[in-house]
Amino acid sequence: MLVVIGGEGADMEKDFDSKLKIQNNSSGVQRSKSFAFRAPQENFTVHDFELGKIYGVGSYSKVVRAKKKDTGIVYALKIMDKKFITKENKTAYVKLERIVLDQLDHPGIVRLFFTFQDTFSLYMALESCEGGELFDQVTRKGRLSEDEAQFYAAEVVDALEYIHGMGLIHRDIKPENLLLTAEGHIKIADFGSVKPMQGTRITVLPNAASDDKACTFVGTAAYVPPEVLNSSPATFGNDLWALGCTLYQMLSGTSPFKDASEWLIFQRIIARDIRFPAYFSEEARDLIDHLLDIDPSRRPGAGHDGYASLKQHPFFRGVDWMNLRSQTPPKFALEQRVHSNDSDDVQDSSWNPTHIGDGSAGQNDGNGGSASSSEAGHITRLASIDSFDSKWQQFLEPGESVLMISMVKKIQKLTNKKVQLILTNKPKLIYVNPSKLMVKGNIIWSDNPNDLSIQVTSPSHFKICTPKKVLSFEDAKQRALQWKKAIEALQNR
């Protein structure tokens, strides 16, 4: 029996159900008014599974290894907190990911088997990728050889050709979303940012379509193409740029535009500031250079000849495109285990089933990059690209660059005011009235923590303390700790 919850939760309830009203897709093909998902909505409960280790935590989900008790089949169970999704207006993304994954059928894409729900959570049973993220392989190996990178890149290209052929843009291609099977083959995951194009072969629910105005999920800073920063409409070229960044990262260990802050990353992307290590082969350099073309339509794979120019590029010389999945994948670099008695099916100490439905899936969200995720080397997901706006340039002197910038609330006794808080490498710490574009305060910089210090009182609240006054701020993206770290790092430079 399904439990019905009120408000938007009730809609989610209905739309996660297996019988749905659909609109005709724009290709004009008549479809029945109600349609059944390939991956059915089951009446299972979480108690039907033995829960194992946490595979990962996303912005609005936890993914846990889960063995179905009766069949023994292992899934990656994606658990999403209903209240959190509703509160964060992520309902449309969840629905879209569900319906898109349901209709994709390719060996290079994570398969959705079934869904179920309880009072608090939605569950998606996904194909379990036991090999982890490609990101971890790159990190553990330092960098990949050209043969290894060619293997993985070819499998990504093969799956992307299928995704684009279905009329979808993934919009978040990066090494963290390229998972590996136990054998070491690629599976593209995380369709939470997917964008169906006009004429898509995917049937899209009326209220699951992504609306770019409402869209706050536009990709990840380090892999975002310049045209997205200039608010151009999404094209297949977006994924090809991200593929170029990913291939660069496989071969070098870091993404091509990596820098100290999102602002600096964006500036390097706009300037197309790419430096190729000397050890890149001519073929690798040429392919990446073309994938990172400023003009999205000139990127190989985006032109009139479709994927032919990409697959025939000399970097892929020798690839047997028809038999990719029967080739032997590169060897895994194994994790350095700290605990010797870990077993995959033993419940991980950090995983507590009582977390289900308590909203804790959202703990990692809303920070536009939690300190921990930045420390782990993960580039943060863009909450919005508003921060990259040339209007803030007028507050900079030539050669001065922004290290951190946030729209924050300045908390005062009577009223709270929205201000743009800006930290630069000068160092300079100012806050600006965003509508009048006037500097409202210049916090006198000091490298001495007795004269300038930051107190974090919650993930979103912090105080900037000087001998004369204490200013209180609220950062809705929960970057209080990041502000503290940015300011202290500058004091200790």
Q: Least Å distance between CB 238 and ligand ATP?
A: 15
Q: Least Å distance between CB 130 and ligand ATP?
A: 7
Q: Least Å distance between CB 479 and ligand ATP?
A: 16
User: What angle separates helix 282-291 from helix 237-252, to the nearest 10 degrees?
Assistant: 150
419 contributes a contact to ligand ATP by CB under 6 A: no
- Which of the ranges 59-67, 271-279, 411-419, 446-454 carries the binding residues for ligand ATP, by CB under 6 A? 59-67
Using CA atoms, how far apart are residues 54 and 35, in angstroms rounded to an integer?
A: 33
> 115 near 98, Cβ under 8 Å?
yes
- Which of the ranges 142-150, 184-192, 239-247, 438-446 carries the binding residues for ligand ATP, by CB under 6 A? 184-192
**Cα–Cα distances in angstroms (integers) from residue 466 to residues 316, 325, 451, 463, 476, in the given order:** 58, 61, 5, 10, 23
What is the identity of the amino acid at 18? S
**132-133 and 34-36 as β-strands: parallel, antiparallel, unpaired?**
unpaired
Tokens describing residue 148: 């290894």
By beta-carbon proximity to ligand ATP, the closer residue of 91 and 420 is: 91
By beta-carbon proximity to ligand ATP, the closer residue of 300 and 368 is: 368
By beta-carbon proximity to ligand ATP, the closer residue of 63 and 465 is: 63
End-to-end CA gap in the chain: 60
335 C-beta neighbours (distance < 10 Å), count = 10
By beta-carbon proximity to ligand ATP, the closer residue of 15 and 365 is: 365
Of 9, 52, 58, 196, which lies in the binding site for ligand ATP, with binding defined by CB under 6 A? 58
Using CA atoms, how far apart are residues 358 and 386, in angstroms rounded to an integer?
A: 31
Reduced to 3 states (helix: H, G, I; strand: E, B; else coil), residue 273 is coil
Give, as ranges, the residues between 244 and 273 that touch ligand ATP (CB under 6 A).
none
Catalytic residue among 81, 158, 172, 259: 172
Using CA atoms, how far apart are residues 258 and 256, in angstroms rounded to an integer?
A: 6
189 contributes a contact to ligand ATP by CB under 6 A: yes
Site string for ligand ATP, 114-133 (x = CB under 6 A): ------------xxxx---x
176 contributes a contact to ligand ATP by CB under 6 A: yes
81 contributes a contact to ligand ATP by CB under 6 A: no
55 contributes a contact to ligand ATP by CB under 6 A: yes
Q: Least Å distance between CB 223 and ligand ATP?
A: 12
Tokens describing residue 390: 């040339």
452: DSSP letter: S
Q: Least Å distance between CB 54 and ligand ATP?
A: 8
Of 82, 355, 381, 409, which lies in the binding site for ligand ATP, with binding defined by CB under 6 A? 381
Of 39, 41, 74, 78, which lies in the binding site for ligand ATP, with binding defined by CB under 6 A? 78
Phi-psi region of 218 (alpha: psi -120 to 50; beta: other; left: phi over 0): alpha
By beta-carbon proximity to ligand ATP, the closer residue of 255 and 424 is: 255
By beta-carbon proximity to ligand ATP, the closer residue of 361 and 429 is: 361
Q: Least Å distance between CB 78 and ligand ATP?
A: 5
Using CA atoms, how far apart are residues 166 and 464, in angstroms rounded to an integer?
A: 51
Give, as ranges, the residues between 394 and 413 that touch ligand ATP (CB under 6 A).
none
Using CA atoms, how far apart are residues 361 and 57, in angstroms rounded to an integer?
A: 7
Q: Is the dihedral of CA 250, 251, 255, 258 positive or negative?
A: positive
Of 121, 177, 203, 246, which lies in the binding site for ligand ATP, with binding defined by CB under 6 A? 177
Tokens describing residue 357: 């439905």
Is residue 172 part of the annotated active site? The answer reads: yes
User: What angle separates helix 146-165 from helix 237-252, to the nearest 10 degrees?
Assistant: 170
Write out the DSSP string of 189-213: ---TT-EEPTT-SS---TTTS--TT
By beta-carbon proximity to ligand ATP, the closer residue of 122 and 189 is: 189
Of 41, 61, 91, 252, which lies in the binding site for ligand ATP, with binding defined by CB under 6 A? 61
Q: Which residues of this chain interact with ligand ATP, rule CB under 6 A?
A: 55-59, 61, 63, 76, 78, 110, 126-129, 133, 172, 176-177, 179, 189-190, 192, 381
| Catalytic residue annotation | 172
